[in-house]
């Protein structure tokens, strides 16, 4: 569990796709490439645009593109854009829980929440891109090496628990 919604999954798929295409791309084209239904893709992309992750351009030859290189966009930002602020429990947010003061687990939850957030902040959209050999070969050797090693993701793995 602790699952993200399908919409969010789609959003990441779309954002990754945008990261690989440099030029503005229509929702229709993105829909065909990702398999996400067009109407749904439109909705998700709007959320990304509102959050400042993507930029939209209306009218003929319009479409979407990212506002920054995908390597500079942390996954946490994308998740927040699509599902609201990260909150493992209600009580992590101020005033959401009636037992706010009496409950001793609240502080602990906030720490857990922070740990998860930090993990997601350390993964960029670029890290989610397909690590297929074919793609790796067409890019720099350094980039290919990064892909094979799973990029910075290894940083997220602390030592085994005591």
Partner DNA sequence: TATATATCGGACTGAGACAGTCCTATATGG
Partner DNA sequence: CCATATAGGACTGTCTCAGTCCGATATATA
* 89 touches its own copies (CB under 8 A): yes
Q: Which pair of structure tokens corresponds to residue 33?
A: 């490439």
User: How many residues make contact with DNA (CB under 7 A)?
Assistant: 28
d(CA 157, CA 162): 14
Binding track, positions 100-139, relative to its own copies; x by CB under 8 A: ---xxx-xxx-xx-xxx-xxxxxx---xxxxxx--x----
Give 109 or 131: the residue with its C-beta nearer to DNA. 109
Answer with the entry of its own copies, DNA, none that 72 interacts with (C-beta below 5 to 8 A by kind).
Answer: none
* 18 touches DNA (CB under 7 A): no
Asked if residues 63 and 42 have their Cβ atoms less than 8 Å apart, the reply is: no
Residues contacting 151, CB < 8 A, separation 6+: 123, 124, 126, 127
Asked if residues 124 and 118 have their Cβ atoms less than 8 Å apart, the reply is: no
Q: Which of 11, 14, 16, 31 binds its own copies (CB under 8 A)?
A: 16
Give 56 or 110: the residue with its C-beta nearer to DNA. 56
* 64 touches DNA (CB under 7 A): yes
To its own copies, the closest distance from the beta carbon of 110 in angstroms equals 10
d(CA 18, CA 39): 17
């Amino acid at each position: 569990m602790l699952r993200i919604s399908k919409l969010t999954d789609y959003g990441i798929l779309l954002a990754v796709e945008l990261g690989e295409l440099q030029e503005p791309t229509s929702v229709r084209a993105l829909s065909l490439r990702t398999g996400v239904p067009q109407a749904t893709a439109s909705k998700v992309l709007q959320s990304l645009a509102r959050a400042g992750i993507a930029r939209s351009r209306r009218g003929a030859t319009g479409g979407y593109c990212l506002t920054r290189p995908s390597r500079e966009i942390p996954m946490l930002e994308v998740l927040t854009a699509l599902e609201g602020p990260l909150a493992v429990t209600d009580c992590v947010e101020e005033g959401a829980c009636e037992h706010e003061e009496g409950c001793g687990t609240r502080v602990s939850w906030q720490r857990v929440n922070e740990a998860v957030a930090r993990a997601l902040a350390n993964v960029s959209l670029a890290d989610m891109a397909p690590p297929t050999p074919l793609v790796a070969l067409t890019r720099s050797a350094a980039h290919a090496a990064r892909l094979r090693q799973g990029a910075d993701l290894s940083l997220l793995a602390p030592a085994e628990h005591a």
